[in-house]
Structure 1
Amino acid sequence: MKRLSIGVMFPSSRSAAVDVRACARHAEDLGLDALFTGDHLAATVGTMESTLTLATVAAVTERLRIGFGVMVLALRHPAWAAKQIATLQHLSGDRVILGVGSGGAVHGSRAWEAVGVQYTERGRHTDAALEVLPDLVTGRTTVLPSGVSIALSPGAAMPPIWVGGGSRAALRRTARYADAWFPSVITATAVANGRRELADLAAGYGRPTPHLAVGGSVLLGPTPSPSLLSAATAGLTRYGVPPEIAAHLPITGPPPQAAERFRQYAEAGADHLILGVIGDDWQRQCELIAETRSLSELS
């Protein structure tokens, strides 16, 4: 089996009580490939700002990739987003993965109202930002959607773009702009089907088929807690996942059992797995994820 790149989501729902530096060092010491954080202005739970969190991770690690899971571009002016991304590239030594999303309805309308962006216009704003980001980040003179011309300095290498979401719009956006498709809460079968559609869309833009990065959730160990699994399933349904599918999406059980799920995603075409941890024992779950990755590579 091909080697899956394995990343973990920073426990952002408890971010104010978590030692970012300790989490980053632990993930790197385990040999995991990346640490991602969510990006929210006003969410149902308190979260720390994503670019500052990733800058802290970059400062205490040497190898670990740092990723947005995902940056909601429509909440930011594209020039400021580019300045943040370029700075993170310099601070990290080009380790950034730019996950991008248009934003969902699960957290309500407060963030959109706060920045004066209409929720219904978020897709258009996202596409407009993706058009200009590569030139902005790399320091080339760029004409912004407002018509203003600007060149940012110092420029940096443009990081890979991973477009989040499982919708047709996300597939189209991936095919046109991105290096990888980054859906979450998705079955291996849906990954394989999406990959075929993505290949056709990318060909229409004269581009190679983007890579696949799959977001998932884990609760590893011999006896998964029914109450935690029930809460996790309920959380998935808030993102529109049917309950009968949501109940089977978390990757559970001891590492040998979970390794089979890793292999299923790899066989469906996934190149990367980015895993969120269910429950509070984030460090132990990371250890079990690393063990599962090793077992999945033995086949």
Structure 2
Amino acid sequence: MGKSKALFAGLCAVALVGTMGLAGCTQDNGSQNSSQGANSEQQNTAEPTASEPAEEVVLQIFAANSLTKAMADAQALYTEQHPNVKFGDTQYEGSGTLNEMLEAGQYADILITASKGTMDTAEENGYVDAATRQTMFTNQLVIVTKAGGPLVGQDITLEQIAAGDYTLSVGDENVPAGNYAAQSLSTVGAYTEPDGATGADATGKGGEWSASLLPKITFGAKVGDVCKYAETGDVDIALVYTSDVYRMGGVEICSIVPDDTHKAIVYPGAVTAQSENAQAAADFLEWCMTDDDCAKIWQEWGFDIAA
């Protein structure tokens, strides 16, 4: 009996030790698994589950009136490619009027004018950030008449206009197209600058129209209005841009005004000094100049990208 008791006691001791060892292993493994689970949870918490959406931006643009159709198409394409960027109520006015609006404190992120001179004025007055300024587009000055009218197909010259052969419409002094028209007609004596400058050396502002021509001129506050006068037949002809023929319709080109009779027709653009979205505005201007699909829009509406 003594030997049996001793053997039984030994077996119990072995079993007890084994049980304790197993429990210890189980506890260690549980602690390790818990630690790994916590680390994994921390890692999952640190990593974003979805990308944050880009902040929405609304850009306000002041643009030359001749850009009406082309700019609207460009804005739609840009928003399609950049859904977080929207556009406010874009103002299309004569370039001089746009400067007056900025002077009066109206807000804009971007200014695009139809002449170097009007952008120079904006820069001199601190309306735009000069570092963002770039020449964007070019255009041509043309003589148009009512589509299907009696003057279609005639090659009308500046000399004929100066002689008073036709009634015509041109932009007023706040409209770059009107300045270009005055510059061109100064080369044939129909417009005289105070300092006697003519053609590309003239400003097309502050001068006098010849007594024989002035009664035959209807002035427009926007180049679109100028084109409309010819379309309706209120005047025989109008001096507008090639792009106006595309966007307005209802008129046909009689002749192209010689480039050497006026300053180069360019469209400078810049971010305004007051812009609260300067980087987004600069990105849009750059896109206008470099995107292939956008280039097709400008060409469709009669503009050329500046070299």
**Is the structural similarity TM-score above 0.5?**
no
TM-score by length of 1: 0.27
Structure scoring higher RCO (CA < 8 A, sep ≥ 6) equals 2
Bigger CA radius of gyration: 2
